[in-house]
Amino acid sequence: MTQGTPTLAAGARKVTADEVVQPFITEIQEACAALPEASRPKMVAFLASSDPAAVKYAQWTAKTLERDGMRFELREVEADDLDEAVQKANADTSVHGIMIYYPIFGMLPGFSGASADHALRDTVSLSKDVEGLCHFYRRTLYRNQRYVDAEQARKCVLPCTPLAVVKILEHLDIYDRKLSDDSQLSGKTITVVNRSEVVGRPLAAMLANDGATVYSVDIDSTYIFRRGKVEHVSAEATTEQFVRESEVVILAVPTDSYKMDPSWVKEGAIVVNVSHFKNIDGDALLATRPGVRYVPAVGKVTIAMLERNLLRLRENFAGCSRLMWDSSTGCVEPAPPVSSP
Amino acid sequence: MTQGTPTLAAGARKVTADEVVQPFITEIQEACAALPEASRPKMVAFLASSDPAAVKYAQWTAKTLERDGMRFELREVEADDLDEAVQKANADTSVHGIMIYYPIFGMLPGFSGASADHALRDTVSLSKDVEGLCHFYRRTLYRNQRYVDAEQARKCVLPCTPLAVVKILEHLDIYDRKLSDDSQLSGKTITVVNRSEVVGRPLAAMLANDGATVYSVDIDSTYIFRRGKVEHVSAEATTEQFVRESEVVILAVPTDSYKMDPSWVKEGAIVVNVSHFKNIDGDALLATRPGVRYVPAVGKVTIAMLERNLLRLRENFAGCSRLMWDSSTGCVEPAPPVSSP
């Protein structure tokens, strides 16, 4: 298996997810160990497909959560029964978090394909949405509203994969902690390749919320995200130009055919490969670009963020079956249960 | 202008929207007249495009609501500012209903095109959603949950165009009033051509909720809707076969090129043309198919339903700025305002 040490350009370094995730695992395990068995965070996950990637992800979440002292229950259901099953888990106060393995390859009454996935995301109660993908959290994210409630006692959850990237960048010290929360990336230029609703788009918005200038590149268009503002970029500008300007490059293209030319990457830049496919030749990058730090995979950090979200939802909403939504603030707070008759 | 009376097959009849809408207009005007000026239903509508169809629709809603004694305010805003503007109207307790003229030809931070429209629909508070298009009402519709609250004191609003079709069918007496609400169409077969998220799909579900067997036909697939169940139809079955079986045919294809062959329509059937284009040659239909009743347009009934929804939202939620959502029932109720500090 030994292939010899690959050549590295001066100061270039590969950064593993293991290196980043370790402090989070410790923190999560300590938080769980401090709780009595019966009130440990409990997640219910729904699997409604036999897609091998979904099955594998389900097994991996199970193993990780159990290792860390959390309770995990996988419910295998028909796509037709998912809405009802999610509704039941919403109503169960012993459940702290709900996740669904997408995509759903079936029909819901009145929905199919992507619109079924969309409808299901919004069916998960915001008090249990570990993935942070329901309308409420999408909207707080894009509005840079960081708390669920007006008292700012309950922080919003953020979608796991984009959050994992943020934590990786924090670990690599590109956030300027001397500045306020929403300016710690100011002066930084970041390119995010791919603009999916689950990863690329929310990540671009989150980095812009923290002050960065973000080029959000997709097959047919590029937008610049700057703190709540989005502008279209002229069709003549190329991805190569954006990448050459960027201190950070995020690669999230879900195909094996996309390969970024390593020579585009600035010296000293950070490259994070979020896709399950390698969107760049990491060895060539590390061998040729001085000072580059390359993160080849983020999956382990993503699962840690799922666990962190579960802990946060438990803190924010444990035992709460009613939510009060205030239309004048757009904020939500837990409400006391109805007294039984 | 006189073109001579068109030939009619025995018992065939054209049914105008005017004939159907008259009792609703009377009911709406009486309800408004009974209210003091200052508390009459107030709708705020957002126009963020110069699309001529949207502008025309805005003028038409304004005229109709004012004629009937309702208050109407058109707010022209940039697409970028829509989210904020809707949030402000959500928070304004003097506003009873909000509508947005789609599509939005712009960008929201993090959204574009269809996904911007989708996000905006969910930004309108369910307490003001006159169009019945936010996730809460889409879901109550597909689940056949007819009330907002557990006490069943507040009826859900339904999307205006599908609701207009239901009212037209009621007017034409195909609902069997001796049966319970959710069976009044049992034994009836209905074909709905086109399955958009705004008209065809919810309409198919609503008719199925009332007991009908509904063929929902779209360019690339047909589904049968039967009270909360949806099944795929084999690719060999043709639209012609479905229509030949159907007592009711709904045409909602948004193009001028789609024309249904009138000879497919069963004797005595009802044909409702919902599209702005004529999806069938009405004169040929009326001349050749005995007993057919043909409704060439539904727009006036749709606007009356918008007004009815506005009245209902005012009754359900007037003055309420906080909503209580119960995760164990999926129901919502108005909550008292916070006492000022």
Nearest beta carbon to residue B230 from set A107, A123, A135: A107
Touching A: B residues 31-90, CB under 8 Å: 80, 83, 87, 90
What are A280-325's pLDDT values in tens digits? Answer: 999 999 999 999 999 999 999 999 999 999 999 999 999 999 999 9
What are A224-248's pLDDT values in tens digits? Answer: 999 878 888 877 889 999 999 999 9
A32 is catalytic: no
Split into its structural domains, chain B has a count of: 1
Nearest beta carbon to residue A229 from set B109, B230, B329: B109
pLDDT of amino acid A112: 54
- Position B123 in a domain: no
- CB distance A205–B109 less than 8 Å? yes
* Helix (H) / strand (E) containing A17: helix A17-33
What are B31-85's pLDDT values in tens digits? Answer: 999 999 999 999 999 998 888 888 999 999 999 999 999 999 999 998 888 889 9
Which of B78, B120, B325 is the mutation pick for testing A, counting most A CBs within 10 A? B325
Which residues in chain A have Cβ-Cβ distances shorter than 8 Å to B326?
321-322, 338
Residue of A nearest to B324 (CA): A324
Mean pLDDT of all residues in A87-116? 78
Residue B282 has pLDDT above 90, yes or no: yes
Q: Sign of dihedral through CA atoms A55, A57, A60, A66?
A: negative
Which residues in chain B have Cβ-Cβ distances shorter than 8 Å to A202?
110
B335 beta partners = B322
pLDDT of amino acid B185: 97
CA A67 to CA A54: how far, in whole Å? 20
Lowest mean per-residue pLDDT among A132-136, A229-233, A260-264, B199-203: A229-233
Mean confidence (pLDDT) of chain B: 91
CA A89 to CA A209: how far, in whole Å? 33
- Residues across chain B: 341
Residue B1 has pLDDT above 50, yes or no: no
Mean pLDDT of all residues in B299-310? 98
- CB distance B109–A142 less than 8 Å? yes
Residue of B nearest to A125 (CA): B327
Mean pLDDT of all residues in B228-241? 85
Can you give the pTM of this predicted structure? 0.89
Mean confidence (pLDDT) of chain A: 91
Locate the DSSP E strands across chain B: 13-14, 42-47, 71-76, 97-100, 107-108, 111-112, 189-193, 213-218, 221-226, 229-232, 248-251, 270-273, 293-295, 322-326, 331-335
- CB distance A328–B91 less than 8 Å? yes
Nearest beta carbon to residue B327 from set A91, A108, A328: A91
Which residues in chain B have Cβ-Cβ distances shorter than 8 Å to A141?
110
Q: How confident is the model at residue A102 (pLDDT cuts 50, 70, 90)?
A: confident
- CB distance B202–A110 less than 8 Å? yes
Q: Which residue has the higher pLDDT, A340 or B45?
A: B45
CA B252 to CA B208: how far, in whole Å? 17
- CB distance B83–A335 less than 8 Å? no
Lowest mean per-residue pLDDT among A66-75, A130-139, A279-288, B328-337: B328-337
- Position A174 in a domain: yes
Distance in Å, alpha carbon of B179 to nearest chain A alpha carbon: 24
Which residues in chain B have Cβ-Cβ distances shorter than 8 Å to A323?
324-325, 327
Percent of chain A with pLDDT over 90: 74
Distance in Å, alpha carbon of B65 to nearest chain A alpha carbon: 25
Peptide bond into A334 cis (omega under 30): no
- Position A170 in a domain: yes
Which of B44, B199, B327, B332 is the mutation pick for testing A, counting most A CBs within 10 A? B327
Mean pLDDT of all residues in A265-287? 97
Which residues in chain A have Cβ-Cβ distances shorter than 8 Å to B325?
322-325
Q: How far is CA B202 from the centre of its chain?
A: 8
Is B321 in the A-facing interface, judged by CB distances under 8 Å? yes
- Position B243 in a domain: yes
CA B262 to CA B264: how far, in whole Å? 5
pLDDT of amino acid B230: 81
CA B128 to CA B95: how far, in whole Å? 8
Q: How confident is the model at residue A1 (pLDDT cuts 50, 70, 90)?
A: very low
- Position A272 in a domain: yes
- Position B261 in a domain: yes
- Position A14 in a domain: no
Mean pLDDT of all residues in B278-291? 98
Q: How confident is the model at residue B106 (pLDDT cuts 50, 70, 90)?
A: low
Q: How many CB atoms lie within 10 A of CB B268?
A: 13
What are B176-198's pLDDT values in tens digits? Answer: 999 998 899 999 999 999 988 88
Is A256 in the B-facing interface, judged by CB distances under 8 Å? no
Mean pLDDT of all residues in A136-148? 92
Is B266 in the A-facing interface, judged by CB distances under 8 Å? no
Residue B263 has pLDDT above 70, yes or no: yes
Pairing of strands B71-76, A71-76: unpaired
pLDDT of amino acid A338: 66
Q: How far is CA B167 from the centre of its chain?
A: 10
Residue of A nearest to B110 (CA): A201
Percent of chain B with pLDDT over 70: 94
pLDDT of amino acid B50: 82
At B191, list the tokens: 């074909």
CATH number at residue B191: 3.40.50.720
CA A311 to CA A305: how far, in whole Å? 10
Residue A267 has pLDDT above 90, yes or no: yes
Domain that holds residue B236: 161-300
- Position B148 in a domain: no
- CB distance B135–A142 less than 8 Å? no
Which residues in chain B have Cβ-Cβ distances shorter than 8 Å to A159?
none
